[in-house]
Chains A and B, each alone.
Chain A
């Protein structure tokens, strides 16, 4: 089984559930180096994404992600709304009309997600942002997909790489986003954006397993 409509819907549902469960942790991370609204914002955005899917009943995995992205853009606010919203929309468009994406197709969609965030946020790896989790995750996924690995195996490697990337943000000094205003004081904390990205990729591994 690949990444079909049902799996795509399950991904967004699971993402909403795990982010909701971890809302307090995300908020605490953001309060330490940002403005403390990341958890609540993302819960609101993903709730809107789930509601949008229920209302529009999209028929392909690509449409599911575009609709979810639209919901996130409308309701999240802050910088993470446009970033995650654009990322999901671009991933959905990259999937095209396929009804059941294989590992290579999903890898290309994740790559589109990364490109959207890098472009929109003008961030690179090492800036202490969501890119520090997503970049390694997309590489890990696509390395395995290119070697012919199964989609679940690639998704699992991506989730692991995202969590490793998140851990690697702790010693970094933020160069983008609100945390960058703190300069050296941003060192010693996990980046909240990288933390939520790691949750999204773990959710993907769970629903594709």
Chain B
């Protein structure tokens, strides 16, 4: 394993120290592992908190800022944060109007956030949770906790954050978050596995001519192993899966996301192909993101996320945002 780290034990702490040094707009509590807005939230605004395992940067700490999250709780690499940590993030995000927890659908995250919500209620902070589950790859089954929460989480955080910034109350913010999640689907394909620093070796093995179709953000298995193919065929595979699950139509918000080790030149090529595919199916790319927004360490490959926009969601997407990783209009 060759990584730009001091030691696997300090990866998360070192990254938090760097985040603090790079972004004075953030208050980074390295010891307790909570990232929040310097100066705290605006009084009377609904607070937004998210969190989850580290290794998906810029998710979630890079989305703390005006118009998005008020606090984030990063766990160890690919490991859920603990309840006390989430409780602290919730307290820092609370400005008297309640707090929305945005939770990706993984057993550990859901458990720890639910527990934190119970503890917050004891402190008289009202918490509503929205669990994202936009991954179209793996269907509900007895053996999984439902669909996984992936790229759609970025859209939920941005759009719900704009609703909160605009003065919506907790139930209204939660309703918007839920609506975005319901109208969003994602699909990912991996070319090479990533390496968890503490594990020291790649999480799974792909032959030179293989890809993992429907891979998860922790390198979890998808639908099947496929053969490596030209980019246009991989994009078409991903979009066909999404289209079969939630037919594409109307104005779409599209994210062509890199998993951490895919060059931007390839992502832009893939986005051109995705745009052509979407227009060929009679829909419109109304807004888009191309780049690394929800990563899986040094896994290579891409994910594509589509949200069916309506007028309100489009307006909230366009609303000003100022975070380390998303910034416009302000």
Contact = CB atoms under 8 A, between A and B. Distances in A.
A180 B141 CA distance: 11
Interface string B72-107: 000000000011100000000000000000000001
Interface in A30-88: 70, 73-74, 77-79, 81-83, 85-86
Contacts of A189: none
B327 to A, nearest CB: 35
B228 interface: no
A183 B143 contact: yes
B143 A180 contact: yes
A73 B107 CA distance: 16
Contact of B111 (A82, A175, A180, A181): A82
B143 A81 contact: no
Interface string A104-130: 000000000000000011100000000
Identify whether the interface residues of B are mostly helix, strand, loop, or mixed: helix
Contacts of A202: none
B42 interface: no
A74 B108 CA distance: 15
A19 B115 CA distance: 23
A2 interface: no
Most B CB within 10 A of own CB, among A73, A74, A81, A121: A73
Chain B interface residue number, banded:
10 to 19
Given A89-B118, A183-B143, A177 B107 contact: yes
B111 A79 contact: yes
Contact of B143 (A73, A82, A89, A175): A175
Nearest to B111: A82
B112 interface: yes
Interface residues of A, number: 20
Contacts, number: 39
A74 B84 contact: yes
B209 interface: no
A81 B82 CA distance: 9
B84 to A, nearest CB: 5
Given A82-B83, A180-B143, A183-B143, A73 B108 contact: no
B114 A175 contact: no
Interface in A173-191: 175, 177, 180-181, 183
A79 B115 contact: no
A175 B119 CA distance: 28
B62 to A, nearest CB: 26
Given A122-B145, A183-B143, A86 B107 contact: no
B108 A86 contact: no
B119 A73 contact: yes
B251 to A, nearest CB: 35
B83 A79 contact: no
A175 B83 CA distance: 24
A127 to B, nearest CB: 9
Given A86-B118, A89-B118, A121-B111, A175 B84 contact: no
Contacts of B112: 82
Given A73-B84, A77-B82, A175-B142, A85 B115 contact: yes
B83 A73 contact: yes
A73 B143 CA distance: 26
B254 to A, nearest CB: 33
Given A73-B84, A175-B143, A180-B143, A82 B107 contact: no
Interface in A13-31: none
B111 A120 contact: yes
Nearest to A116: B118
Interface string B298-317: 00000000000000000000
Contacts of A81: 82-83, 115
Contacts of B143: 175, 180-181, 183
Contacts of A122: 145
Contacts of A181: 143
A81 B111 CA distance: 9
B321 to A, nearest CB: 32
18 contacts: A73-B115, A74-B84, A79-B107, A79-B111, A81-B83, A82-B111, A82-B112, A82-B114, A82-B115, A85-B115, A86-B115, A89-B118, A120-B115, A121-B111, A122-B145, A175-B142, A177-B107, A181-B143
Interface of B: 82-84, 107-108, 111-112, 114-115, 118-119, 142-143, 145
Closest 4 CB pairs of A and B: A82-B115, A82-B111, A73-B83, A74-B84
